[in-house]
Each structure stands twice: as C-alpha cells, then as structure tokens.
Structure 1
C-alpha cells in the first residue's frame, strides 16, 4: 500500500474540521448576561452564574474553537500557537493578547484577570504551567478541559469520535449563551464530514501514518484509540499503526 506520512499534526485534530468552517460574526454577551450553566468537565463540576467576558485559552485548539463560535471579543488572552491560525480566524486572533509563546505561568494567567480558562490539553493545568483546575475553580475561575485528554486517563473515552467534538462545541456554546452558534457550527462540520465520507472511495488502498512528534529520534504515532483513527476510517484509508491500542504511543 502507498503510505502518506503526516508530520506536525495539529495538537487536536478537531482544528482540521474547524478550519473548514466560517466564523460567525461577533456578538459578545454583555456583563449583565446570565449564563446559569452547570456542567462537568473531565470529572470536575463547573458552575457559571454569568457569561464569561474575559476568557483565556491555553493552546491553539481551544483558541480556534472560541473564534469559530464568534467569541473573540470575550477573550482576554491566548497562548501556545503551534501552527498558522486558520485564515478565517486570523483577523480576530490579532486582536487577542498573547500571554506566552507556550503555556503561561500561573502569574501570567492571573495577570490577565480571567473569568474562564479553556484548554484541550491536560498538560496546560500542570503545576509548572497555570496550575490545577481545582485551584482555579477555588479562585472562582472555571477551567474547562477537553474530554479527549482528561487529567485522569480513566475518564478518557477509549474511542475518539466527532461526537466528542460536537459535545464540546455544545458545552462552550452553552457557557457563553450562544447555543444557536453552536448548532450552526456543528451543522457546518457535519456537512464537511458528509462530503469527506462521500468521496472516501478515492482513498481506497491508502495507508496513513499520523506522526505527532519524536522523542530521542523515536516517532510518536497515533494508534487505534483516538480521533486520528476515526478520521482515517472516515476518509476510507487505513491507519498504519491500527494494531496499537492507544491514542498516541
């Protein structure tokens, strides 16, 4: 089979689909808006009395998710840009303060005076990064973490699918009281997925290797338990490492 190596994959594969969708026009909630949202994120209970107006995103995936929902005006900071921002989000991104090239320190985060923190990677909430989510919650700063990378691996689903991304879109849209935008974004993404599935036969016989990075020369590749496997199957191809029972290994 013909193998296509894919290097420098985005930290979260959802960005691939988000980049295909247009960002809604900004309509930020006012300080008086009430979200009254309560949800669980990777086992941590989060409660929102009001719509956040000073959100900070800790890596590119969460940043582009916010921008895809038209929430740039509700952001007080961003960080950890790993690739070029999708063109349709570039102008909005330029208006957001960049707190750090990688993860901000706890002091840098607090200096932005956030009322919501959001990341798709658990490493953002390490003690040597911004600190644990429970600590932020105790400071009345709810911190949302994507379900694909919970601090407790037992909370991560064994199968990665777009249903998880859609659920996350719904969560963020609920927190910011923009449910209609969330529904529109999900519909747009589903349309892209349907188009890919309809053309899947064009990739028959193609074997794909998803390479995230390397450690001491050894590649970190996607196994059969994550979104890369789902994307590969959707496109009608095969994962070269589908015998590995892991998201990345």
Structure 2
C-alpha cells in the first residue's frame, strides 16, 4: 500500500535530496490556525494528540522525537511498528492535560480542534502556550471550518487536500527536514493522481455513496459523513455523489432518511478503538443485513459495501490509501444506470 511505498521512496531519495535542502532559518515564525508560532530551534521532543500527526512524524523520520501519542483509531502500519513501540501511548482516546505536559514536550501536534482549542477536551491552546509549549493544530481541521457548530464542527468551505500537504511541509520546516517533506508530498500527489486515473472512462454520473463512521448506540441515528468534509472530498475526487446534505463534519441522520436516499455504495469504518458499539465493523455489517430498514437498501442487497479504515476517512496519510481502496472497489462493480 501507499505508506509502504512512502517509506521505500524516502529511504531511496533522502540522502541526495538532503544534500540540496535549504536548512530552516531559526527563529522560525509561522501562522497556524490564526495563531503565530515561533521556534528558536527544532523541537527535541513532541507529543501527538491524533493519529494523523503521529504517522506524519514517523513518515518524516522523526519517530525519535516523539515522547507520547494519543487518540488512535487504527493500529499503526507495520512499517512504523518498531518505532511506535518505543513511544508511550498516553491514551487510546483523549489524554489528560496533565499527562501531556508531564512529558515536557517542546511541541504538541493536534489533529482535531475539539481536543485542543477554545473548548478543547484536553485543554486550550492558551493553557499550553502559557507553559511555553507550542501547539500545532492541523490546518485541515481549522481552515474553512467552524468547530463551535455541531458536535464535530461544520465546514464553511469544502475540505482542501492542500491542507494535508501544508501540514507535512510545515512540520518538515519546524523540524528542519524539508527535503523529506517534499518527497512525501510528491509521493502522495502521485498516488492521488493514480487513483483518479484508475476510474477514467467509467460512467459514475448516477453513482452515490454514504460513509458510516460509527453510532453511539446501534438503535439510534448513525454518525455519517456530511458535505464538504474529508469523505465528501474523496467521493467528489472520484466523481461520486454524497447522499448526505448536511455541512456538519459527522452529523447524525436517521436510517429511514438514508434508506430513502438509497446510495449505490455504503462505506463503513473499520477501527480498533471501542468508544461506541458501532466502532466494531462486524456489528455494523450485522446491523445492515438484519435491520428491517437497511437490509432492503440496494447497496446491502447487492453487497456494495466497502470497508475502509477509519483513519483513511480523515485528513491523514491514510486518506490516500482510502481513496485508492474506494477507487479499486468501485472499479470492480457493474453500476446501475
């Protein structure tokens, strides 16, 4: 898969590329989600709150700088297992503020603003900055988005893949590994183009899909992907329509409404965390095939169900694997006109 190819590419290209890289000029000041951050030197230690930032740092060859991780959805890819085993997991979900600052990090990398933000469950950026601990928030979760509206925020503008490339470039600059960041972004862009090309010529004008992330309980409305978010970007990139019309990141929508929309494909999240009952992909599948409403959906009757790692539905390196998985699955089906 893509992440394995990324590691291979970086090992192959890193030495000659690094020879031509321009070093970061410190002090470095950059704008991050409307907050200026200044670094006097490359951080010697970091804590991540979110799997996306963790795997980006691993892919950039910065695993030795990590002193703590948290907020995991899926197991780490096998190529990062050895370095991940050396890093303390502070929590599977959200860590405490005390656990994070107890590692004395010189940087905290945050995937989601509801973890560290105005109403952060871990803390506010001001709390960290008062202790002179800078917080880098992924631009994908703040640019064009209002995280104070809806449980997981509402998109004011469609998610842009450029925010993922921006995170990689800025983290590479902060840690003075710019050549590695450029190599990684080039590989990701090539992967995206390959996935798009794989469906060229296939008529998807009548094709739609629904992303089901999880449910707080099996008998209540599910968390599904709204418009303008990351799964919506994945679908639009491949030429597929999202049947959900809400601009919330992960709104709850009733199954009767979803069944009426009758998507061509159901995309369901597989994850290793167990915060909610429907985090278990097998429970999702059982529900879809036995519930009197969902079992009559065309996607269920025709087995057009795509299982995707939950982390592949988020602004992360795995997003590119997720798009590849979607494209491969769609290409194998004869679609209704």
TM-score computed with the length of structure 2 as normaliser: 0.61
Does the Cα contact within 8 Å between 2:156 and 2:247 map onto a contact in 1?
A: no
SS of the aligned residue for 2:127 comes to helix
Would you say 1:234 and 2:237 are equivalent positions?
Answer: yes
Bigger relative contact order, structure 1 or 2, given CA contacts below 8 A and separation 6+?
1
> Paired residue for 1:9?
none
Residue of 11, 21, 28 corresponding to 2:6? 21
- For the 8 Å contact 1:147–1:156, the answer to whether it is kept is no
Quick check: which one's helix share is greater?
Answer: 2
Alpha-carbon separation, structure 2, partners of 1:129 and 1:19: 33
**Cα offset, 1:109, TM superposition:** 1.1
Give the SS at the match of 1:66. Answer: helix
Pairs aligned (count) = 228
Alpha-carbon contact 1:56-1:78 (below 8 Å) kept:
yes
Alpha-carbon displacement from aligned partner over 1:82-118 (angstroms, at most 9, x marks no partner): 2111222222211111122222211111211111001
Report the alpha carbon displacement of residue 203 of structure 1 after superposing the two structures with TM. Answer: 7.6
Unaligned stretches of 5+ in structure 2?
16-23, 148-153, 252-337
For the 8 Å contact 1:173–1:181, the answer to whether it is kept is: yes
Which residue number corresponds to residue 142 of structure 2?
Answer: 150
When normalised by structure 1's length, the TM-score is 0.81
Which blocks of at least 5 consecutive residues in structure 1 are unaligned? Answer: 1-15, 28-32
- C-alpha distance after superposition, 1:165-191 (max 9, x if no partner): 111111111111111111000000001
Instruction: Output the CA distance in 1 between the equivalents of 2:242 and 2:229.
Output: 11
Q: Compute the RMSD of aligned alpha carbons.
A: 2.8
Structure of higher CA gyration radius = 2
Q: Superposed, which structure 2 residues align to 1:200-211 within 5 Å?
A: 200-201=199-200, 202=202, 204=204, 205-211=206-212
Q: 1:124 to 1:203 in 2, by over 3 A?
A: farther
